[in-house]
Chains A and B, each alone.
Chain A
């Protein structure tokens, strides 16, 4: 009987110790911050500004700085996020080199080689969170075989809905216009891109997310449905300079977030895009830490978060945004 009591006391103490250790571990994990870099996977050249940022449409002869910019070069930005031993990509650019001619692109390099400039190997990438499934954001999945893909179920259902829509072909996901396939759902999802997403799903390397999800302590996916596409999603990342929020094309333009203007309207509900902006303001306390996918001012002083930049292979730029404690600079 006495032995039993002893044993029970021992078990209770051990349990309490375990609970305490778990709580301590959790609080340590909660406190973890991440290091963040931005990589320019490629650059779309001479895009008419008004097509990207309608409120900034070019007006011939205008002396207003808001309307006298004819074309802009748009970077395709990919977030590289290191949290402890986990290496996460937010978006993953594209690798279909044949698109080069089709899109008027320069400074493209395979993403796996671009992250090698930061000292990372493709096999080290453990997670890829795509802000949405368009070809220029979900196009390099095959380069990262070990990575688990995170995609919103709503994104996949949105494509399928458009695919099966019985009405007009401009709404249905059918690419009917070889010279101007913008805005309709078909344009962003070529067979190659959806096949590579499907490949991840088939190989058990995908998490199909419904709404919000914490993928690591403090690293949180927020749904931003219809802020660019049906299943757009944001990523909140804790860092030494405060929280960052990556927005993919829901945050196509940082200036648009600052000025509350829509940008890169594709399958977009403008109110939902503004709600996505508001999410960044609420999480980070302003607009400075919102990470935009195609901001023309990226890698310059005019977009301060990304100003600590340098030029890498094939003219593609990189930025070291913030380092976690103990992390050395990878800027070259």
Chain B
């Protein structure tokens, strides 16, 4: 009987030990789950902060230029700024005339000084130190300046005979030249034109 009691006592002791172990494991598992949950929660909180800043497409990338090419692009930009303004001025001299804001003589007054701007820009362009890789671009731009100069001379003729045919011929030349300006600008200053 005492042997049986001893065996029963031993069984109870084992059961208690196992229950304690099981409890410990459950506690550990709960702790691990809590730690994992907390970690995930923190990671979620952090996520928006690592969102990158706008990498918008028109902060345009173009092939890297050499130092000489960069110098040329910068020097051309200074010329281009004046040319572009003069070109729009010339167009508006014609538009104002067609809208009845001034007569033939006003065209001469407004456009004659622009011929000098285009010719001078061409001289400045030709005086630049041009890298071999940009000779063709320089020549195209120079051609556009010639066209603009010729267009301005053509426009002025309207002051002499009043014939709109001169304006039409000049506009065609001017629009061709404007296309070249865009081509060249696209290669040298890709951020020049933005969504409006």
Give the complex CA separation of A105 and B190 in angstroms.
12
Chain A residues numbered 294-308 whose CB sits less than 8 Å from any CB in chain B: 294
Closest to B89 in A: A163
Is B150 among interface residues, defined by CB-CB distance under 8 A?
A: no
Chain A residues numbered 159-205 whose CB sits less than 8 Å from any CB in chain B: 159-160, 163, 173-176, 178-182, 186-192, 194-199, 201-203
Contacting residue for B57 out of A45, A96, A135, A189, CB 8 A: A45
Mask, A127-150, CB within 8 Å of B = 1, is 000000011110000000000000
- Tally A residues with Cβ within 8 Å of B: 62
Is A68 among interface residues, defined by CB-CB distance under 8 A?
A: yes
Is A61 among interface residues, defined by CB-CB distance under 8 A?
A: yes
Q: For residue B192, which residues in chain A have a CB less than 8 angstroms away from its CB?
A: 102, 175, 178, 181
Give the complex CA separation of A252 and B180 in angstroms.
30
Given A44-B195, A103-B193, A203-B168 in contact, is the A196-B89 Cβ separation under 8 Å? Answer: no
Q: For residue B185, which residues in chain A have a CB less than 8 angstroms away from its CB?
A: 98, 102
Give the complex CA separation of A111 and B62 in angstroms.
27
Is A60 among interface residues, defined by CB-CB distance under 8 A?
A: yes
Query: A189–B88 contact, CB under 8 A?
Result: yes
Q: For residue B41, which residues in chain A have a CB less than 8 angstroms away from its CB?
A: none
Q: For residue B91, which residues in chain A have a CB less than 8 angstroms away from its CB?
A: 191, 194-195, 198
Q: For residue A264, which residues in chain B have a CB less than 8 angstroms away from its CB?
A: 196
Is A246 among interface residues, defined by CB-CB distance under 8 A?
A: no
Is A71 among interface residues, defined by CB-CB distance under 8 A?
A: yes
Query: B178–A102 contact, CB under 8 A?
Result: no
Closest to B49 in A: A61
Query: A201–B98 contact, CB under 8 A?
Result: yes
Q: How many interface residues does chain B have, given as a range?
A: 35 or more
Contacting residue for B84 out of A68, A175, A294, CB 8 A: A175
Query: A191–B51 contact, CB under 8 A?
Result: no
Query: A195–B195 contact, CB under 8 A?
Result: no
Is A332 among interface residues, defined by CB-CB distance under 8 A?
A: no
Is B55 among interface residues, defined by CB-CB distance under 8 A?
A: yes
Q: For residue A201, which residues in chain B have a CB less than 8 angstroms away from its CB?
A: 95, 98-99
B31 to chain A, nearest CB (A): 30
Chain B residues numbered 63-106 whose CB sits less than 8 Å from any CB in chain A: 77, 81, 84-85, 87-89, 91-92, 94-96, 98-99
Query: A160–B92 contact, CB under 8 A?
Result: yes
A149 to chain B, nearest CB (A): 12
Query: B167–A190 contact, CB under 8 A?
Result: no
Contacting residue for A70 out of B53, B96, B172, B183, CB 8 A: B53
Query: A74–B51 contact, CB under 8 A?
Result: no
Is A118 among interface residues, defined by CB-CB distance under 8 A?
A: no
Query: B194–A98 contact, CB under 8 A?
Result: no
Query: A192–B179 contact, CB under 8 A?
Result: yes
Is A251 among interface residues, defined by CB-CB distance under 8 A?
A: no
Query: A101–B195 contact, CB under 8 A?
Result: no
Query: A74–B195 contact, CB under 8 A?
Result: yes
Closest to A193 in B: B178
Give the complex CA separation of A231 and B174 in angstroms.
24
Q: For residue B195, which residues in chain A have a CB less than 8 angstroms away from its CB?
A: 44, 47, 74, 103, 136, 294
Chain A residues numbered 69-105 whose CB sits less than 8 Å from any CB in chain B: 70-71, 74, 96, 98-105
Is B164 among interface residues, defined by CB-CB distance under 8 A?
A: yes
Query: A174–B81 contact, CB under 8 A?
Result: yes
Contacting residue for A178 out of B77, B94, B179, B182, CB 8 A: B77
Q: For residue A60, which residues in chain B have a CB less than 8 angstroms away from its CB?
A: 48-49, 51, 53
| Leading 10 A-B pairs by shortest Cβ distance | A104-B57, A191-B178, A192-B178, A178-B189, A191-B87, A134-B196, A195-B175, A188-B196, A98-B186, A104-B58
Name A residues whose Cβ lies closer than 8 Å to a Cβ of B: 44-48, 58, 60-63, 68, 70-71, 74, 96, 98-105, 134-137, 153, 156, 159-160, 163, 173-176, 178-182, 186-192, 194-199, 201-203, 208, 249, 264, 266, 294
What are 22 A-B contacts with C-beta separation under 8 Å?
A: A44-B57, A58-B54, A61-B48, A70-B54, A74-B195, A98-B182, A100-B186, A103-B58, A156-B99, A160-B96, A163-B85, A174-B81, A175-B192, A176-B81, A182-B194, A187-B194, A191-B88, A194-B91, A201-B99, A202-B171, A266-B196, A294-B195
